Chains A and B, each alone.
Chain A
């Protein structure tokens, strides 16, 4: 199965749909609106990331999916059926079809790895042979066959999470909820767990809804993302769209770390950017620039390799100098990020950006520069 085939679009029926969820918590001193009109739609095979800062309502949201937390209003549709109206007893069967893993693993300390994974099956009164086979299969998938007789206290964090994943999937659920599952792990272990989740997604078509506060996690395995802020969905969509054209402030802020936007912002705020443009023309001995743009360009996939800059210079007769660039690997395909200073004829520069947009490059003008006398005087000092 190729990666691309998993990028299902709106045409297929969503396996999970949250519609207009509201949830308010009452504390002694005040009321907290944890969810405000949240609607999210997840298709089969999606790895749907929900990102937000702490307190944004992520945990509440993911708990509404399996009704560990009941929303005040709104619908939770699993395979088209609204489960928000079900009673606790009826929910048990639904929950058995939705696995869940946690930041703190939540393994049973008094039981071995084998018994932890067997736990849901024992509850369902499966016979011993079947339990043995299923547990053996799951432990093989997560790579812990030799740890079956160990107790959780003897395992590392990554191994504990693997046991938790085996336990969550032993009843063959179609959906896996991940509540900050890698947040307690070191970067290397995080990668190995994310790779395991991706593998489960590809091999078994497992739909994953994961919540995290780390853009890195989203970047590595999600094909869709929703950004949550103070209980509201600030924006959601396919990963590339949100990464390339974030519309909300919170998404921009969370992505700025990924593209090292803070470095550029520092330069723009603290350095006289006139220098950035002057450098372009001084070499040619031309006149001082009167105008310029600092532009952030994002190239997706194979576009990241195209020689756009040379083309712009040649075709539009403008000056383009590269300030900073890097390449991120997003869902196994490259996403190039480039900061450039453009100057020259303003209309030509505008055309150049239009051309880039038509090529599917995401273009963000970060700052416009205009020559001022005062600045010139300062520079001379």
Chain B
């Protein structure tokens, strides 16, 4: 059985170790850039919401500038962003290629997106609940953590899942410009050497990753929704 399936994917069998190495690279890229960008993205999302009109720390000027800046970054296609960032990436991490060179552009590329989906999730929290907490004499930082973020948690989980899925896509693109990982694996062999089976298997692996992630996220979000 296994050997018959293997017959359809001769190149995959041959490059098994390369494939595994690429998978590891992708997981690393997505994991590290994900962790970093979640942190900054959530932070920025919270800042956007609390500085917005009628927010806890209303600051129209700041909210306006931050919003515009995010829009600028979001309108740059990721492949172009990578190229644009090359000098900066070199300056910060010393190289613009490989795993190390890919992470920084990925973070910069995804943070504006995450901040927007976070903003959306946080906006779902009823303003009245925040007002109720204020009426109890609860301090603003406490409200942000224990009311705003806590109440938005199911939405935040969903937003995180969406962001990670986008990151997986970004990682493939980063791979195409020398970042390593499944993307570069598929381009190098599947595309450049016409090894179609490699492309197919890569797609299947990505499909599996995305589905597992989405399923897991939905499950957690559902558990948290009352």
Taking beta carbons and an 8 Å cutoff, which residues of A are in contact with B?
A: 66, 68, 88-89, 91-100, 102, 104, 106-111, 119-120, 123, 151-153, 164, 167-168, 171, 177
Contacts and interface: CB of A to CB of B under 8 A. Distances in A.
Contact of B135 (A68, A88, A107): A68
- Interface of A, secondary structure class, is mixed
A110 B137 contact: no
Contacts of A93: 137
B126 A104 contact: yes
Interface stretch (B11-19, B80-88, B109-117, B145-153): B145-153
A123 B224 contact: no
A112 to B, nearest CB: 8
Interface string B135-159: 1111110100011001101100000
Contacts of B154: 110
18 contacts: A88-B140, A89-B139, A91-B137, A98-B135, A100-B135, A100-B136, A106-B126, A106-B128, A106-B129, A106-B132, A107-B129, A108-B129, A108-B150, A109-B226, A110-B150, A110-B226, A119-B133, A152-B226
Nearest to A152: B226
Contact of B151 (A98, A110, A153): A110
Contacts of A95: 134-137
Contacts of B138: 92, 120, 123
Contacts of A97: 137
B135 A110 contact: no
A102 B128 contact: yes
B139 to A, nearest CB: 6
Given A111-B150, A119-B146, 20 more contacts: A68-B131, A68-B134, A68-B135, A88-B140, A89-B139, A91-B137, A95-B135, A98-B135, A99-B136, A100-B135, A102-B132, A107-B132, A108-B129, A108-B147, A109-B151, A110-B224, A110-B226, A123-B136, A123-B139, A168-B136
B136 A96 contact: yes
B131 A92 contact: no
Please provide the 5 A-B residue pairs with the shortest distance between their CB atoms, ordered closest to farther: A95-B137, A96-B137, A151-B226, A106-B132, A100-B135
Contacts of B146: 119, 123
Contact of B142 (A96, A123, A167): A123
A171 to B, nearest CB: 7
Nearest to A98: B135
Contacts of A99: 135-136
Nearest to B143: A123
A153 B135 contact: no
B115 to A, nearest CB: 22
Interface of B: 126, 128-129, 131-140, 142, 146-147, 150-151, 153-154, 224, 226
Nearest to A123: B138
Contact of A119 (B126, B128, B136, B226): B136
A171 B137 CA distance: 11
Given A106-B128, A106-B129, A107-B129, A171 B224 contact: no
Nearest to A122: B146
A111 B151 CA distance: 9
A91 B136 CA distance: 10
Nearest to B135: A100
A279 to B, nearest CB: 57
Of B128, B136, B153, most A-chain CB atoms within 10 Å: B136
A284 B128 CA distance: 67
Nearest to B142: A123
Interface hub of A97, A109, A110, A151 (most chain B Cβ within 10 A)? A110
Contacts of B131: 68, 102, 106
A20 to B, nearest CB: 24
Contacts of A108: 129, 147, 150-151
A111 B129 CA distance: 12
Contacts of B151: 108-110
A63 to B, nearest CB: 9
A89 B138 CA distance: 10
B153 A100 contact: no
Contact of A94 (B133, B137, B142, B226): B137
Contacts of B142: 123
A96 B134 CA distance: 9
Contacts of A109: 129, 151, 226
B126 to A, nearest CB: 7
A109 B151 CA distance: 7
A107 B128 CA distance: 9
Of A99, A102, A151, chain B has the most CB atoms within 10 Å of the CB of A102
A164 B154 CA distance: 23
B135 to A, nearest CB: 4
A152 B151 CA distance: 13
B128 to A, nearest CB: 4
A77 B153 CA distance: 39
A68 B140 CA distance: 13
A97 B135 CA distance: 10
Most chain B C-beta atoms within 10 Å of own C-beta, residue among A93, A120, A164: A120
Contacts of A106: 126, 128-129, 131-132
B129 to A, nearest CB: 5
A135 to B, nearest CB: 14
Contacts of A123: 136, 138-139, 142, 146
A97 B226 CA distance: 30
A108 B150 CA distance: 9
Contacts of A102: 128, 131-132
